[in-house]
């Protein structure tokens, strides 16, 4: 008989974008490893993107989804989907939000989620509580439910809480408040899961020493092997059906993660090799900011850029699989060594060459281990141009590199779900042993 876990996750299908995919794929495969799933999430409000294909994925796995209302800023917009703000607007809103709300602007979900969570746990027996963050309000909700129910708590960090490079504190008080909130949550946790070793080390350094402290584990992002099981789609053709080397980017741009260096490197490559202009296309799936589209125009790249806009995850994967080379970027900023974006691991699943514009850190390390990559600094325009030239020559001769299949399969979502199931099982045993020691100290 399967055990059952309650997952607390604000971002859950039909919300789209990369933050949703980790939890939805865990939930898809956990039943295969002895764990049924109940999900505590929100009723969908205004968001940048919706993706019904991800919701169908988890519904077919028998996941029980419980939704509540929430009082948070997304409820202020009347429309279902809102446009992605420009970087200046995003930063302004972020500063205001971080000043007003602790730990984040989803704290208005807390009373509704706790009430519904208590009802879920009362109606059906559960064996553990798992939360995935950000938003870190989810960790606080899960900790409260764990404390009330006596069930073991497992925390999944998709980003660091205190030292997140994309988060700034308006004052020392705000940071100290966040530290206190995290300590309360960590003191109740049986296990802490992070996406990479850098974030794990930072959290371990903040855990106050205790014989009953949480165990720590790394489960990286991954790819769903079912997304890549069919035969490769036809080559990407544009214009007069002329094949071009297709350089693909899937996702959004924000903060220090911008397309400027890639676009300037592409323009430099075309200046150096003008005969390649009709044989290269840069495909973007996701969202481009007005600043990025203006840069494309100013660099005279409109004839080599194919902007497709936002697509569902399923359709985005199909476009990715039509590509010849994939590229990604992480801006060079404090804390960037701990950023390992979800898209990188889906790129791995494609087994295609990857051009990475990344600083030193987890992403760069993974790209080098992948084996079919060309890695340059995120501000190295000359390096990008040289990398595109090298890849173009390889593509033209039919000799693009291939990765290590053994390395790729380390990131199968099925394999990673099995790891999470083992952590859940171990957390139950540890929790029972801790209770036994408290009840019978002798």
Average pLDDT of 90-110?
Answer: 85
Backbone conformation region of residue 113, classed left if phi is above 0, alpha if psi is from -120 to 50, else beta: alpha
Inter-residue contact 245 to 395 (CB < 8 Å): yes
Instruction: Please say whether the dihedral angle defined by the alpha carbons of residues 26, 30, 33 and 35, taken in this order, is positive or negative.
Output: positive
* Residue 135 preceded by cis peptide, ω within 30: yes
HSE (side-chain half, CA atoms, 13 Å) at 248: 25
The per-residue DSSP string of 129-190 comes to EEEEESSTHHHHHHHHHHHHH---EEEEESS-STT-TT---SSHHHHHHHHHHHHHHHHHEE
Of the candidate ranges 68-77, 81-90, 268-277, the one whose mean pLDDT is the lowest: 81-90
**Band of the pLDDT at 232, cuts 50, 70, 90?**
low
Instruction: Check pLDDT > 50 for residue 240.
Output: no
CA 124/CA 190 separation, integer angstroms: 22
Average pLDDT of 198-205?
Answer: 95
Enter the CATH code of domain 3-222+413-439. 3.40.50.2000
Query: Residue 353: exposed, middle, or buried by beta-carbon count in 10 A (0-12, 13-18, 19+)?
Result: buried
Give strand pairing partners of 189.
153
Contact partners, residue 9, CB within 8 Å, separation at least 6? 23, 39, 40, 41, 131, 132, 138
Inter-residue contact 341 to 171 (CB < 8 Å): no
Of the candidate ranges 203-212, 284-293, 326-335, the one whose mean pLDDT is the lowest: 203-212
**What global pTM score does this model have?**
0.91
Average pLDDT of 286-295?
Answer: 92
Domain with CATH 3.40.50.2000 in the chain: 3-222+413-439, 226-406
User: b/e per residue, 318-333, with b = 16+ CB within 10 A?
Assistant: ebbbebbbbbbbbbbe
Enter the CATH code of domain 226-406. 3.40.50.2000
**What distance, in Å, lies between the first and last C-alpha atoms of the chain?**
33
* Residue 29 preceded by cis peptide, ω within 30: no
């Amino acid at each position: 008989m399967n055990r059952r876990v309650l997952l607390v996750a604000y971002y859950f299908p039909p919300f789209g974008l990369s933050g949703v995919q980790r939890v939805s794929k865990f939930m898809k495969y956990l039943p295969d490893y002895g764990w049924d799933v109940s999900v505590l999430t929100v009723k969908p409000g205004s968001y940048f993107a919706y993706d019904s294909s991800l919701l169908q994925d988890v519904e077919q796995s028998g996941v029980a989804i419980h939704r509540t209302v929430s009082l948070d800023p997304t409820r202020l917009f009347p429309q279902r989907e809102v446009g992605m703000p420009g970087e200046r607007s995003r930063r302004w809103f972020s500063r205001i939000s971080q000043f007003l709300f602790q730990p984040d602007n989803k704290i208005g979900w807390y009373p509704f989620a706790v009430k519904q969570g208590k009802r879920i746990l009362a109606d059906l027996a559960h064996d553990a509580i798992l939360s995935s963050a950000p938003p870190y309000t989810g960790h606080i909700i899960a900790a409260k439910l764990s404390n009330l129910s006596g069930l073991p708590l497992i925390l999944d960090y998709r980003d660091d809480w205190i030292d997140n490079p994309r988060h700034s504190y308006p004052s020392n008080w705000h940071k100290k408040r966040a530290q206190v909130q995290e300590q309360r949550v960590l003191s109740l946790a049986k296990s802490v899961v992070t996406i990479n070793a850098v974030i794990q080390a930072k959290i371990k350094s903040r855990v106050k020493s205790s014989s009953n402290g949480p165990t720590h584990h790394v489960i990286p992002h991954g790819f769903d092997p079912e997304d890549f099981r069919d035969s490769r789609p036809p080559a990407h053709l544009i214009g007069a059906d002329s094949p071009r080397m297709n350089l693909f980017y899937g996702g959004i741009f924000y903060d220090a993660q911008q397309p400027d260096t890639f676009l300037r490197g592409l323009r430099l490559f075309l200046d150096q090799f003008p005969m390649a202009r009709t044989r290269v296309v840069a495909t973007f799936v996701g969202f481009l900011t007005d600043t990025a589209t203006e840069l494309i125009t100013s660099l005279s790249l409109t004839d080599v850029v194919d902007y497709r806009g936002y697509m569902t995850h399923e359709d985005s994967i199909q476009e990715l699989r039509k590509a010849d080379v994939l590229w990604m970027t992480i801006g060079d900023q404090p804390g960037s060594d701990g950023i390992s974006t979800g898209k990188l691991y889906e790129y791995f699943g494609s087994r295609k060459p990857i051009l990475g514009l990344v600083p030193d850190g987890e992403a760069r390390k993974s790209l080098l281990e992948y084996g079919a990559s060309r890695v340059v600094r995120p501000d190295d325009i000359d390096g990008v141009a040289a990398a595109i030239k090298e890849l173009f020559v390889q593509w033209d001769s039919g000799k693009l590199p291939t990765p290590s299949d053994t390395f790729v399969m380390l990131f199968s979502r099925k394999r990673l779900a099995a790891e999470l199931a083992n952590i859940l099982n171990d957390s139950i045993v540890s929790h029972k042993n801790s209770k036994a020691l408290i009840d019978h100290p002798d």
